Each structure stands twice: as C-alpha cells, then as structure tokens.
Amino acid sequence: MAAADVAHVVDFADIDAVADVGRLEHVEGIMTFASDRAVPIVAAAAKRLGLPSIGVETAHRFTNKIAMRRRLAELGVPQPQFAAVRSIADARAALDVVGLPAVLKPADAAGQRGLFLLHSFDDLAAHLHAALAASSEREAIVETYHEGLEVNTLLVAAEDEVRIVTASDRLRPAGVGFGVAIAHLYPSTFFGDVLTEIHRVAITAVHALELERGIAYPQLLVTDSEVLVVEAAARIPGGQMVDVARLGTGVDLLEIAALLALGERIASALSEPRFQQPLAVRFLTAQPGPLPTGRVRSVGTLDRVLAFPGVVQAEVYLEVGDTIRPVQIDGDRRGYVIALADTNLEALERAEAAATLVDVEVE
C-alpha cells in the first residue's frame, strides 16, 4: 500500500465493492497475485467493468477442484480417480470409487488448508468436517493417493500459444504436512521422455481448462508409470514461484500478468526463457526444516544467511510472540532462502546449509 498511488481496503470477496473501486478509480486492469480465492472475484469484477480477464467460467474451472476434475476427465487428461463429497454417506461411496490410501481436500481452498491423507474410512469420518469447513461451498473432494515426485510447471497462454516457462521439482515432507512444499528445485531433475511428457500434460491441462490468455500453474505428479495432474491454477502462484521464473529463466511473470490484465499483446520474447540458471528455494519450517517449534523469543538478522555462497535472496516471516508450529499448511512456512549454483542439487545443498544459519530462539 505504501508503494501505491491510491489504496482502498475492501473485502475482496465482495464483488460489488471491488467493482465500485474500479469504477471510482477508472482502472484499466484488474489482477491478483498468489491468491486462489481472488481469481473468480477478479474475473467477475473485470466482467462488470468491461476489462480483460480469463473469464468467469474459466476462473471457476481453475478454482473449484470438482469442476476442474470433471473437465479434465471429459477430455481424458491423466489425473487421479476422484469423487465429490458433502456428507458421510458421500464419503463412504467415494472410497468405493477411489480406494485407499486417498487424499481429502476442500473443493475450493488453497494453501493445503483442510488437506488430509486417509488410510481408512475412520480417517475420512474424522477429518471430513474440517475439510468441509475450509470450503466456501461446503464441499470436498476425495482422490486416489499416488506415490511419486511432484513437479510445478509455469506456463503463459497468449496469442494462440501456450508456452512452458519452467518445470521445477516440488519437494515435500512425510507426515501430516505431505502437501506442503518445503523446497523448489529448478530445473527439474527429470529429463528426456519424462520431461517431454511433463510438458505435454501441463499444456494439455491448460487447453482442457480453456485458459486462452493468462498465467497457468499446473502441479503434476510423476509416478512410476505416468504423469498426473494434481491441480492447476490460473494465476501467478505464491511460494516464491515468481522468483523461480525470474531468477531461473529471466521471465518476469508480474510484468506479463500486468500486460494481460490490460489486454496488451504479449510478445513471445517476454515469455521465452532467456537462460537456465539452476537454483533452489528452501523454505524455513520446523522439522524437517531448521526452525524450532514454540513461541518466538527473538529473531536475529539474516546477515550470515545472505553472506553464504550462492545465496541471492532470503526472508523471515517471524516476529517476537509468533508461534512456530509443525508443518501442516503453507502458512507454517516462516521464510525462505534462495541459492544459485552450477547444478540444481548443489543449489539445494547451499540453500539448506544457509537455512541452518537463521537465528531464531523460542521459549
């Protein structure tokens, strides 16, 4: 807000309020950054203001996991088996479809809120209320759980073309925080035919969900036998993915998103990777990260972290009195370290080593 020429504070879920600000300020574009729940609001407000957007229907397909799954299923895009759930009765029938183990999550939430790994019907019964409570539509989805490595892809759809910007490995912990990325590794460790299939599935998903102009963020799972679509978003993602594109390839997704919001033409050079710089983003978390759990008593400077070889960026989202919890949702990540190197694995080693230099004391 300090950087803005004019700032208004409104509830972004209030489409009327957002549109009223747009009219008052005669805005020429409207966009969001990182917030999945804002995507349909942006589309609806843009429609009222006659501004460019991805469209209301496309926004719904990208932010409602059930609508997304059904559309991908219609067009044969590879993905886990799934079933919509609103009640215990639905839940029992859902497990007959998807089997066990399974994944339970809200139909329209993000940040791993309301996400649970299920090993039995009792698990589903125990967690269903929490998943439904995290959904604005009070609806959840159950999906078949597959072992594999997740890959984040970033794409730009514009001028009748869908272009891959990056494919990066999404490293996750075991346990209740299994859905949270604790590190990003660019470029992906996959190569050859597997990487080609990753690109194909990501582009196919974007076409299937009918994103014609926008930034897409398909998250894929590479199993022993296939590449599956885990989820897809039509926005610049959070979790420092904008830095993965910027530092790893020289592509500025924020510039592209602003131009798209204004209805401007996107020159191919803007979304074309100019180089490939191996890097790693290591998030600051409790176990398996370097942070202790508990109430924060003090937070030191990042001088030693930033001085570590290869480190180009680092932040800590902690203040005295905050509580560091075990990893379960994205909000349990309390900062990050980004390191560059000649290889992605060396970059990860640097980022992890530098992360241990973060000085945080708890009570």
Same domain, 294 and 259: no
Question: Is residue 169 in a domain?
Answer: yes
In angstroms, the CA 320 to CA 301 distance is 13
The helix (run of H) or strand (run of E) holding residue 336 is: strand 335-340
Question: Is residue 99 in a domain?
Answer: yes
The pLDDT of 116-125, averaged and rounded, is: 94
The pLDDT, as a whole number, for residue 259 is: 97
Same domain, 290 and 205: no
Give pLDDT tens digits for 157-173.
999 999 999 999 999 99
Give pLDDT tens digits for 296-308.
999 999 999 999 9
The pLDDT-based confidence of 84 (bands split at 50, 70, 90) is very high
pLDDT value at 101 more than 80: yes
Give pLDDT tens digits for 46-65.
999 999 999 999 999 999 99
Which of these three, 121, 144, 167, is where a domain ends?
144
Domain that holds residue 129: 81-144
Cα angle 184-107-327, degrees, rounded to a multiple of 5: 40
Nearest residue to 283 via CA among 251, 243, 255, 250: 243
Give pLDDT tens digits for 192-208.
999 999 999 999 999 99
Nearest residue to 311 via CA among 254, 357, 260: 357
The pLDDT of 29-38, averaged and rounded, is: 91
pLDDT value at 34 more than 90: no
pLDDT value at 40 more than 90: yes
Same domain, 98 and 169: no
Average pLDDT of every residue of the chain: 95
- List, in order, residues 6 or more apart from 157 with CB less than 8 Å away: 163, 206, 211, 212, 213, 214, 215, 216
Same domain, 167 and 227: yes
Angle between helices 56-63 and 38-49 (to 10 degrees): 180
pLDDT value at 110 more than 80: no
Same domain, 265 and 291: no
Same domain, 285 and 262: no
The pLDDT of 331-347, averaged and rounded, is: 97
Same domain, 167 and 257: yes
The pLDDT, as a whole number, for residue 113 is: 84
Q: Please provide the DSSP assignment of 57-125 as one string.
A: HHHHHHH-HHHHHHHHHHTT-----EEEESSHHHHHHHHHHH-SSEEEEETT--TTTT-EEESSHHHHH
The pLDDT-based confidence of 92 (bands split at 50, 70, 90) is confident
Which of these three, 101, 123, 144, is where a domain ends?
144
pLDDT value at 111 more than 90: no
The pLDDT of 108-134, averaged and rounded, is: 90
What is the pTM (predicted TM-score) of this model? Answer: 0.94
Cα angle 66-260-266, degrees, rounded to a multiple of 5: 120
Same domain, 295 and 186: no
In angstroms, the CA 167 to CA 302 distance is 29
The pLDDT, as a whole number, for residue 189 is: 98
The pLDDT-based confidence of 246 (bands split at 50, 70, 90) is very high
The pLDDT, as a whole number, for residue 109 is: 79
State the CATH number of the domain containing residue 140. 3.30.1490.20
Do 226 and 255 form a contact (C-beta atoms < 8 A)?
Answer: no
The pLDDT-based confidence of 260 (bands split at 50, 70, 90) is very high
Q: How many domains does the chain have?
A: 3
pLDDT value at 120 more than 90: yes
State the CATH number of the domain containing residue 242. 3.30.470.20
Which of these three, 125, 144, 163, is where a domain ends?
144
State the CATH number of the domain containing residue 355. 3.90.1170.50
Question: Is residue 35 in a domain?
Answer: no
